[in-house]
Chain A
Amino acid sequence: MISGLTSAAPVAIVIFLVTIGLVIARPRRLTEARAALIGAAVMVLAGLVAPVDAATNVAGHWNVLLFFVGLTGAAAVAERSGLFEALAGTSARLSGGQPRRLLVAVVIAGAVVAALLSNDAAALALTPVVYVLVTRFGLEPLPYVLACTFVADAASLALPVSNPVNVIVTADLGISAISLAPVLLPAALAAVVALLGCLLVIYRRDLPSASPILPATDSWVSWSGIPRPLLASFGVAVMIFAVASALDLPLGLAMTVAWLLLLVVERLGGRLVGPLSGIGWSLLVFVAAMGVLVDGLSSAGVTAWLASLVLGPVRDTPAAVMAVSAAAGAVGANLFNNLPAAFVLADAVHGAGLGAASAHAAAIGTIIGADLGPNLTPVGSVATLLWFVLLRQRGLEVSTWSYIRIGLIVTPTTILAALAVGLLLGVPR
């Protein structure tokens, strides 16, 4: 038996890996939330996590879970309000349809949405809007669609609100989420600038000098279509979050209050949708179940073993801890999925008993790796291969390489840019 691992470790590892396999492969349309729930249940039935500990684990994540309710709810209000269309309209007007300027505008719009409303909002809600935008200009949408997908992750380092990974890592390590912002905000900026540089170089010969079509300026959605009170309440929501962060209040509570405010203003404005419409329930269940699964790995000594293996040799050198954590986060995100990778790494770092400076560096490194790592291919690597197989089965042939090569260039570049800033600002001298 490897030192540190208990006799239950092989069972825990198999349950975890099979669960991740089910999450990725989705056999018979099994959702990722159900797959994770089944995995968590098996972990409990196998005696690796006591039922009461599983319940405590889920309850202990109340702040994170509440945060996701508020975040996905607020993003849904933003989507319904036409905020993304208005943002696209502004990008269209400011760029004048000049393809390079439009690419820059899309990256900036994506960065703002990802930073304030999460990477999922940018990837899920903004990307189709960008597709519509560039298609109306008669441009080939691929560079813009990929820009949107990539910037969703590159900018998601910025704030706690920008990526579920950020909240999971800081909550599990007991670090004030906003305390990392002075490092992660500049790191996000570096990653976005690096991304933009990569895209402009990669597509330097593919973007025409002018758009083939110039739709009338007034054909674009404008901000006047969004009710003023709702627009103002988005500003108030951001302020609520900023004040709660500054006072170190539970962010889940702040986010939920902000979401409820938006919901009330939306309903007062006459938009009657189900109040729970748009909430990412599957994300919630997935996160809760993943906490229990990782608890099982932890009790079997797997995460502690991983910590000694990965962080042991460098534990007293914060700069090395940050670099190794970033690499581990990126590898984990590409091997399976970034959320489980963040959970496992956070638990490993937590159990490694690092000093304050090293723990701080590990949190920054893990966030950089797990946030930016999945971009190695547009949708995550091993998983992507399965996805391409699925596409082919549906009769859609995709020129795989033309997509993957972009990620192979962009991901290492953005990680290195963010890591350089992290090492510069996040390691005590």
Chain B
Amino acid sequence: MSDVRRVLVALAGAEDPALVPELAGVLGPGFPTLEIRLLHVVDSGPRALLPIGPLPGRGPWPKPPDAAIQQRMADAEDEGSTALLATWRDRFSAGLPGATISTEVRRGQPEHEIIAGTKEYRAQAVVLCPRPRTGATESGPRSVGHVARFVVDHAPVPVVLMRHPA
């Protein structure tokens, strides 16, 4: 087995910062080289839902999709993703000194992109919070969101679900 452990951490963005020290505890010492890829997926679903294209349900829509509006939204996504990953990169650098941290932004359906990102990075493990937005600490029915559920079902490598610290 290689001395290098490559771990992909999928971040929605709003996870508890305590994720980093807790993950450091889980990964533990013993590997000379730890490479961590922080992945943020810009969910394409909400933007695809925006009523700026022709939608048949309510009235006729007076204008086609506007390229300038699409560009403004893409710019905001870039700005938000870059700022999110910069914040988390600092946290990981501080919490896991010695680890090599890289970042990646992907666009699409989060669960699919996490799997694709895991394969492309040739990660040996993928880490994510089962419900990053809720801060739920309890285990039990419905404690794992649909994204994490999909990743557990489809990831080719071990999956670590980090529940938020109590």
Interface size classification for chain B: 35 or more
Contact of A24 (CB < 8 Å), options: B56, B62, B69: B56
Q: Mark A114-135, 1 if CB is under 8 A from B, else 0.
A: 0000011001100110011101
A147 CB to closest chain B CB (Å) equals: 12
* B134 contact set on A, CB distance < 8 A: 205-206
* A391 contact set on B, CB distance < 8 A: 48
Q: How far is the CA of A139 from the CA of B84 in the complex (A)?
A: 10
B49 CB to closest chain A CB (Å) equals: 6
- Contacts A131-B47, A206-B133, A399-B45 given; does A213 touch B84 at CB 8 Å: yes
A412 within 8 A of partner (CB): no
A218 within 8 A of partner (CB): no
Closest to A25 in B: B56
Q: How far is the CA of A208 from the CA of B164 in the complex (A)?
A: 13
A286 within 8 A of partner (CB): yes
A96 within 8 A of partner (CB): no
A1 CB to closest chain B CB (Å) equals: 33
Q: How far is the CA of A399 from the CA of B49 in the complex (A)?
A: 11
- Indicate if the CB atoms of A208 and B57 lie closer than 8 Å: no
- Indicate if the CB atoms of A135 and B49 lie closer than 8 Å: no
How many chain A residues have a CB neighbour from B under 8 Å? Answer: 68
Q: How far is the CA of A212 from the CA of B129 in the complex (A)?
A: 15
Interface SS of chain A = helix
B12 within 8 A of partner (CB): yes
Contact of A399 (CB < 8 Å), options: B60, B136, B146: B146
* B43 contact set on A, CB distance < 8 A: 140-142
- Indicate if the CB atoms of B76 and A286 lie closer than 8 Å: no
- Indicate if the CB atoms of B59 and A137 lie closer than 8 Å: no
- Indicate if the CB atoms of A374 and B58 lie closer than 8 Å: yes
* B58 contact set on A, CB distance < 8 A: 119, 123, 153, 333, 337-338, 374, 379-380
A106 within 8 A of partner (CB): no
Contact of A138 (CB < 8 Å), options: B48, B56, B59, B84: B84
Q: How far is the CA of A23 from the CA of B62 in the complex (A)?
A: 14
* B60 contact set on A, CB distance < 8 A: 23, 31-33, 280, 282-283, 286, 339
Q: Mark B57-78, 1 if CB is under 8 A from A, else 0.
A: 1111111000001001101110
Residues of B18-77 contacting chain A, CB below 8 A = 43-52, 54-63, 69, 72-73, 75-77
Binding site for A on B (CB under 8 A): 12-14, 43-52, 54-63, 69, 72-73, 75-77, 79-80, 83-84, 87, 109, 112, 131, 133-136, 146
Binding site for B on A (CB under 8 A): 23-26, 31-33, 72, 119-120, 123-124, 127-128, 131-133, 135-142, 145-146, 149, 153, 164-165, 205-209, 211-213, 215, 278-283, 286, 333, 337-339, 374, 377-381, 383-384, 386-387, 391, 396-399, 402-403
Q: Closest 7 interchain pairs by CB?
A: A380-B57, A280-B62, A208-B14, A383-B56, A379-B57, A132-B76, A32-B60
Other A-B pairs, 19, CB within 8 Å; known A124-B62, A145-B49, A206-B133: A26-B54, A32-B54, A120-B59, A123-B51, A128-B73, A132-B73, A138-B13, A138-B14, A140-B12, A140-B13, A141-B43, A141-B47, A164-B59, A212-B84, A213-B84, A337-B56, A383-B55, A383-B56, A398-B48
